[in-house]
Each structure stands twice: as structure tokens, then as C-alpha cells.
Amino acid sequence: MKKNKDNNKVRNNIILFIAFMSLILISYLFNFSIGIKIGDNFMIFARDMVKILPPAFILIGLFDVWVERETIEKNFGKSSGFKRYIYSILLAATTVGGTFVAFPVANALYHKGAKYSSIFTYITAASLVMIPMSIMEASILGLKFTTIRIGVSLPLVVISSILLEKYFEKGEYQLPKAAA
């Protein structure tokens, strides 16, 4: 039954992709400006993803193989104390590729024993404190603005991560196991 459902999903995704590409092709043939703009944006996005994702997934794979579960449990797990939030924020600051990379890293952290609060802090901080983004923001909006934004945001991130973790633990929530 599940296999049938998965096959239908794949078939539907293929049909949607073909329809999307047909729309773009027809737009170019009939000079439909909105469709052409969508096609151009899609190509820019696809090019950027081809540049970012392969190296990122290689690094995630290496992380998964090279970093021991005990190391993650010690620094991001139950016994790590408050330092888990600092490590989560530092890891997030160095993550390149935004949420496309942050979610697979978070998944690897989870399967190696990181607490939910560490994972929530990491995912949220990955969109807030990336070093290249923060440098660009500081150069445009000023260092004072960037410092205030980060100084206000990070404590809220940690507090909300702790509250979410408590909510998940109270409901005994478990993330699904990796598909075989």
C-alpha cells in the first residue's frame, strides 16, 4: 500500500515538473513575459543549487561518517548543559547554503543524539546568524543594527527552543526513522 502511495507521489511530481517546463517553453515560444521571468528565475535558482548542494551534501556525509555519536551527545545532548546552545549557534553561523543544508545537518544531529532544543536552536540560528549574511547586513544597515538584531534574536531563539523541546517531550514526540 505504501509503495503504491510513493509511486503516485513520484508520478504526480513528474507530471507537475513536465507541466511547469511546458509552461516555460510555451512562454518562450509566444513571448509571454511572466512565464519567461519564471523560467529565468528557475534557471538562476537551479544553477545556484547545483553549485551549493553537491559540496554541502558531501560535507554532510563526511560529518555523518567522521563525527562520532558520543561527540554529538557530549556537546549537543542531554549532558551538555547550556553550551549546547552556544555550539548550535556557532555551527549555524558557519553553515553555508541556508535551510537547504541546515535541515540535513539537523537530521544528522538528531540521529546522533542531539537534544531537540539543540536542533531547534541550530535550525533557527542558521537563518539568523550566517556569517556572510551578517557581514553584508552590517555593511548595508550598519554594525549597530546587526548587533542589536542578533542580540535580541538569539536569546529568543534559545528560549523558544527550550519551550518547544518541553512541548515535544511532554507529547513524547519522536521523529520518524530514516527511510530504508
Query: What does the pLDDT look like over 95-117, one tens digit per residue?
Result: 877 777 888 899 899 989 899 99
- Tens digits of residue pLDDT in 75-86: 998 888 899 999
Question: Do 82 and 167 fall within a single domain?
Answer: yes
Q: Across all residues in the chain, what is the average pLDDT? A: 89
110 plus 131 within the same structural domain? yes
Whether residues 10 and 53 fall in one domain: yes
| 103 lies in the same domain as 124 | yes
Tell me which residue range forms the domain holding 41.
1-66
Q: Based on the domain organization, do 37 and 79 belong to the same domain?
A: no
- What single string gives the DSSP state of each residue in 39-66? HHHHHHHHHHHHHHHHHHHHHHHHHHHH
Residues 149, 106: one domain?
yes
The grid coordinates listed for 31 are: 513571448
Pair (62, 105) in one structural domain? no
Domain end among 25, 46, 66? 66
Q: Using a pLDDT cut of 90, give the percent of the chain over it.
A: 58
Q: Are residues 56 and 75 in the same domain?
A: no
Looking at 42, 66, 90, which one is the last position of a domain?
66
Last residue of a domain, one of 66, 83, 100: 66
Nearest in space to 175 (alpha carbons), one of 84, 78, 102, 103: 103
Are 33 and 72 part of one and the same domain? no
pLDDT for 14: 94
Model confidence at 1, pLDDT cuts 50, 70, 90, reads: low
d(CA 48, CA 69): 32
Same domain flag for 104 and 36: no
- 23-54 per-position pLDDT tens digit: 999 999 999 999 999 999 999 999 988 888 88
pLDDT score, position 56: 83
User: Of 42, 72, 52, nearest to 130 (Cα)?
Assistant: 52
Handedness of CA 58, 61, 66, 69 (dihedral sign): positive
Q: CA of 161: how far to CAs of 40, 77, 100, in Å?
A: 38, 14, 20
**Domain total for the chain?**
2
pTM, two decimals, is 0.75
One domain, residues 59 and 72: no
pLDDT at 180: 41
